[in-house]
Amino acid sequence: MKPKTRWTLLGLPAAGALLAACSQSLPASHVAAVHDPTSSSAAPTTTTAAPVYPLSGLPVTSATNAHRPALSVKVDNAPGSFPQVGVDDADMVAEALVEGGLTRLFVTFQSHGAPAIGPIRSARPVDAALLRELGGGIFVYSGAAAGEIAPVKASSTANLVNDDQESMPFYRDGSRPVPHNVFASTGGLWAKGLAQGAANVPPPQLFTYSPRPQGGVTHPLGQASLDMSNISSAAWSWDAGKGVYLRTQDGAPDMNSDGTRMSAANVVILSVPVGPSGIFDAAGNQDPYVHLVGSGVVWVLRGGQEIQGTWTRPTIDQPVQLIGTSGTITLAPGTTWLELLPRPHLPHLGG
């Protein structure tokens, strides 16, 4: 598993070569200034660019990975899908409501990958807005009704990798029930997307990262719980010893397939509007259309602290901005979960 919030600078000889290689082509938003401790005290003070991965804010350890596109995978989050595989290796995860009061995950990799990710399921309309602020990248899903995938095709700018033909790099895990049995490796998915013509360019940096909270008044907060619907819930609790938030799904610890707990450095809870889609499943449940354009309240959890502010995104062409009472709300370097909480639900904050 990848590191969550703790990181150290690379060894200086190796770091020098890597920083030089990365800083030649990384966008300015992907670098941070650091002092060069090898310079003489008598010499003028110099700074060098220290690249960070755009979706985690952690220092770059692989120039190849730093320059590749975002890979987003639609992952099941319903009974029958647990334990999920590879989700905790992602840079970012977004949870959103789907039909029947269930939720589904939008799991994004860039700084590193996973030997397997899944169960992979079908796309939803909200994926278009999530993909657009990642620069499109590569989007992986397993089937989708025409109306479900239409927004993605119309406005996401992503290269689509679909399991409709059940071809490589997808495979089915015979130990799992249908339809919770479709998996793939991220390496195979990146290769497939690039072979189909996906642009081999990194996503923009979506958030601002800082060692300490910035952007608003902080309040100590040990836990937060969310009612996504009348049957689905999520909760996060701060583990000071590990320096991460630990996730609970529907009242039980949310476990990875390797036996570890699902965790994150940041939990960003966005109050979002949800409207009708006109798309119904076989049981007659209408798929909700979760909107990520507009504005609303945001609660940012990092380092055992909570900052409340506003998220704003006037158009799909712009990324989501997190604004507090004193400017941009910053995140801690590490994994981020976005909880797209349907209005009028509010998070229960405590501890």
**Tokens 């029958």 belong to which residue?**
80
Q: What's the rounded mean pLDDT across residues 82-105?
A: 97
Residue 275 has pLDDT above 80, yes or no: yes
Rounded distance between C-alpha atoms, residue 87 and residue 108, angstroms:
9
Q: pLDDT > 70: what percent of the chain?
A: 85
Question: Could you report the per-residue pLDDT of 294-303, keeping only the tens digit for each?
Answer: 999 999 999 9
Is there a shared CATH topology between the 71-195 domain and the 219-350 domain?
yes
Contact call for residues 264 and 335 (beta carbons, < 8 A): yes
**CATH homologous superfamily for the domain 71-195:** YerB-like (3.50.90.10)
Angle, CA 212 vertex, CA 105 and CA 240 arms, to 5°: 65
What's the confidence (pLDDT) of residue 165? 62
What's the confidence (pLDDT) of residue 175? 94
- SS3 letters across the chain: CCCCCCCCCCCHHHHHHHHHHHHCCCCHHHEEEEECCCCCCCCCCCEEEEEECCCCCCECCCHHHHCCCCEEEEEECCCCCCCEECHHHCCEEEEEECHHHCEEEEEEECCCCCCCEECECCCCCCHHHHHHCCCCCEEEECCCCHHHHHHHHHHCCCEEEECCCCCCCCEECCCCCCCCCEEECHHHHHHHHHHCCCCCCCCCCCCCECCCCCCCCCEECCEEEEECCCCCEEEEEEECCCCEEEEEECCEECEECCCCECEECEEEEEEECEEEEEEECCCCCEEEEECCCEEEEEEEEECCEEEEEEEEECCCCCCCEEEECCEECCECCCCEEEEEEECCCCCEEEC
Contact call for residues 119 and 182 (beta carbons, < 8 A): yes
Q: What's the rounded mean pLDDT across residues 333-342?
A: 98
Q: What's the rounded mean pLDDT across residues 56-68?
A: 97
The number of C-alpha atoms within 13 Å of 4 and in the hemisphere containing its C-beta is 21
Q: What's the rounded mean pLDDT across residues 217-225?
A: 95
Is the CATH number 1.20.140.10 carried by domain 219-350?
no
Q: What are phi and psi of 297, to 5 degrees?
A: -80, 145
**Tokens 């991220």 belong to which residue?**
186
Per-residue pLDDT band for 5 (boundaries 50, 70, 90) equals very low
Residue 37 has pLDDT above 50, yes or no: no
Average pLDDT of the chain to the nearest whole number? 88
Q: What's the rounded mean pLDDT across residues 111-128?
A: 97
What's the confidence (pLDDT) of residue 329? 98
Per-residue pLDDT band for 258 (boundaries 50, 70, 90) equals very high
**Tokens 């200034």 belong to which residue?**
33
Q: What's the rounded mean pLDDT across residues 64-82?
A: 96
Q: What are phi and psi of 64, to 5 degrees?
A: -65, -50
Per-residue pLDDT band for 30 (boundaries 50, 70, 90) equals low
What's the confidence (pLDDT) of residue 48? 53
Residue 22 has pLDDT above 50, yes or no: no
Can you name the residues that pair with 332 across neighbouring β-strands? none
And the tokens for 69? Answer: 């596109």
* Of the listed ranges 3-7, 28-32, 180-184, 223-227, the one predicted with least confidence: 3-7
What's the confidence (pLDDT) of residue 287? 87
Report which of residues 276 and 9 the model is more confident about: 276
Report which of residues 47 and 10 the model is more confident about: 47
Q: Where are the domains of the chain?
A: 71-195, 219-350
Report which of residues 14 and 97 the model is more confident about: 97
Per-residue pLDDT band for 123 (boundaries 50, 70, 90) equals very high
What's the confidence (pLDDT) of residue 279? 82
* Of the listed ranges 165-179, 208-222, 240-254, the one predicted with least confidence: 165-179
Upstream peptide bond of 151 is cis (omega within 30 degrees of 0): no
What's the confidence (pLDDT) of residue 166? 60
Question: Could you report the per-residue pLDDT of 291-330, keeping only the tens digit for each?
Answer: 999 999 999 999 999 999 999 999 999 999 999 999 999 9
